[in-house]
């Protein structure tokens, strides 16, 4: 890790020197060509510093380890109707249900508001379906100033709903520095003008997970009249069950969302609840009786992880078997 940081800083230092002093005495920057020794995938490389024009051949990648075990939930519940779902059983992502958040969030939400290190794409390298699962893959490659690519999808304007039970069956990535967020935002929230409805419109994090700790997840609610002065959040951890890490098997992450109440569950075990009494106890209104939409993201780096990503740990993937929304009859 130390060597990688030193290499990266040295590379940046050389670039700054070249900006200041070009060969013709001008201040125009000299663009450094991609090399086979810069610890990122770029140029025509097929992996980090190998393949393409590099003399080093790439080692074969291990096949994606889709779990064969884990918890599952029923396709129906007494007193509820299935109103929306995606079983990810086609050949490609259903874009009548999902849209993409692309790039780095700029100019409205640069680095997606959390100092994240990835560039989001809709490339089949970063997002695809396999064996009836949605696969979001983070890759160490240099794109638009970022050392990693990944993917982030949403249902803004395709599916927004108020209340119900949500079940998401998923298996997490292993790489330290990865950050999974399967969450919901107010129907009026936009990337272009994030401050208009965040945190005042609310955010429901069905599950967050950090690759540095495969034995723990978080369920969180964000709220408050404005940021940062009145931003509040209530977050509760949940540990792995029976010694099965979250990156080795399927778990089901759920919320039961009712008027004036949200409960978080893992494998049907309730571990967190929020009500108006919670937010009002912090001097803030309760924003969770409005309609919301889904956002699913696999990020790299950022404010929440406590460790820096290492290129050698990538690619790595988030695997989602299904997402289902039920509402009371």
* Dihedral (CA of 127, 118, 2, 41) sign: positive
Q: Sorting pLDDT into bands at 50, 70 and 90, what band is 196? A: very high
Dist CA 229 CA 163 (whole Å): 29
Residue 154 confidence (pLDDT) above 80? yes
Domains of the chain from N-terminus onward = 80-328 (2.60.120.200)
Q: Quick check: is 62 catalytic?
A: no
Amino acid 65: pLDDT: 87
Q: What are phi and psi of 252, to 5 degrees?
A: -115, 120
Q: How far is CA 261 from CA 4, 29, 204, 269, in A?
A: 46, 56, 12, 16
Q: What is the mean pLDDT of residues 187-214?
A: 97
Residue 7 confidence (pLDDT) above 80? no
Residue 312 confidence (pLDDT) above 70? yes
Q: Quick check: is 203 catalytic?
A: yes
Give pTM, 2 decimals: 0.83
Catalytic option among 208, 258, 277, 328:
208
Amino acid 39: pLDDT: 73
Residue 27 confidence (pLDDT) above 90? no
Where in the chain does DSSP place strands (E)?
Answer: 80-86, 99-100, 118-120, 127-130, 133-143, 146-150, 152-154, 160-161, 164-171, 178-186, 203-210, 216-223, 232-239, 251-258, 261-266, 269-274, 292-300, 316-328
pLDDT in tens, 280-302: 999 999 999 999 999 999 999 99
Residue 19 confidence (pLDDT) above 60? no
Catalytic option among 130, 203, 212, 280:
203
3 state SS of 158: coil
Give the residue from 210, 239, 217 showing the smallest Cα distance to 307. 210
State the chain's mean pLDDT as an integer: 90
pLDDT in tens, 72-129: 999 999 999 999 999 999 999 999 999 999 999 999 999 999 999 999 999 999 999 9
Q: What is the mean pLDDT of residues 6-16?
A: 41
3 state SS of 9: helix
Name the percent of the chain in helix, strand, coil, to the closest 5.
Answer: 10, 40, 50
Burial 79-104 (b: 16+ CB within 10 A, else e): eeeeebebebeeeebeeeebbbbebb
Q: How far apart are the first and last CA of the chain?
A: 54
Residue 63 confidence (pLDDT) above 70? no
Amino acid 99: pLDDT: 98
Strand partners, 270: 265
Strand partners, 164: 257
Structure tokens, 263: 């409960």
Output the CA torsion 264→266→270→276 (10° steps): -10
Residue 40 confidence (pLDDT) above 90? no
Amino acid 49: pLDDT: 79
Residue 24 confidence (pLDDT) above 50? no
Amino acid 44: pLDDT: 78
């Amino acid at each position: 890790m130390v060597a990688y940081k030193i290499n990266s800083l040295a590379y940046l230092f050389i670039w700054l020197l070249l900006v200041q002093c070009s060969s013709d005495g001008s201040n125009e920057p000299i663009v450094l060509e991609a090399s086979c020794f810069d610890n990122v995938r770029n140029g025509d490389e097929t992996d980090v510093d190998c393949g393409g024009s590099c003399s080093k051949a790439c080692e074969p990648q291990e096949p994606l380890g889709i779990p064969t075990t884990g918890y599952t939930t029923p396709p129906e519940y007494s007193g509820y109707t299935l109103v929306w779902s995606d079983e990810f059983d086609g050949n490609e992502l259903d874009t009548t249900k999902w849209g993409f958040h692309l790039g780095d969030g700029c100019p409205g939400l640069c680095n997606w508001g959390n100092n994240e290190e990835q560039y989001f794409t809709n490339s089949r390298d970063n997002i695809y379906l396999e064996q009836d699962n949605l696969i979001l893959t983070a890759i160490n490659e240099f794109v638009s100033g970022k050392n990693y690519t990944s993917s982030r999808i949403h249902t803004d304007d395709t599916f927004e709903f108020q209340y119900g039970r949500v079940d998401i069956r998923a298996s997490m990535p292993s790489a330290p520095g990865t950050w999974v967020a399967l969450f919901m935002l107010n129907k009026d929230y936009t990337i272009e003008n994030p401050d208009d409805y965040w945190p005042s419109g609310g955010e429901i994090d069905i599950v967050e997970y950090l690759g540095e700790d495969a034995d723990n997840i978080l369920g969180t609610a964000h709220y408050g009249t404005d940021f940062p002065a009145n931003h509040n959040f209530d977050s509760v951890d949940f540990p792995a069950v029976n010694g099965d890490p979250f990156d080795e098997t399927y778990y089901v992450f759920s919320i039961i969302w009712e008027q004036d109440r949200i409960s978080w569950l893992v494998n049907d075990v309730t571990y967190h609840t929020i009500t108006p009494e919670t937010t009002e106890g912090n001097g803030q209104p309760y924003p969770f009786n409005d309609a919301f939409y889904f956002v699913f993201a696999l990020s790299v780096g950022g404010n929440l992880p406590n460790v820096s990503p290492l290129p050698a740990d990538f690619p790595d993937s988030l695997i989602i078997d299904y997402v289902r929304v039920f509402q009371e009859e």
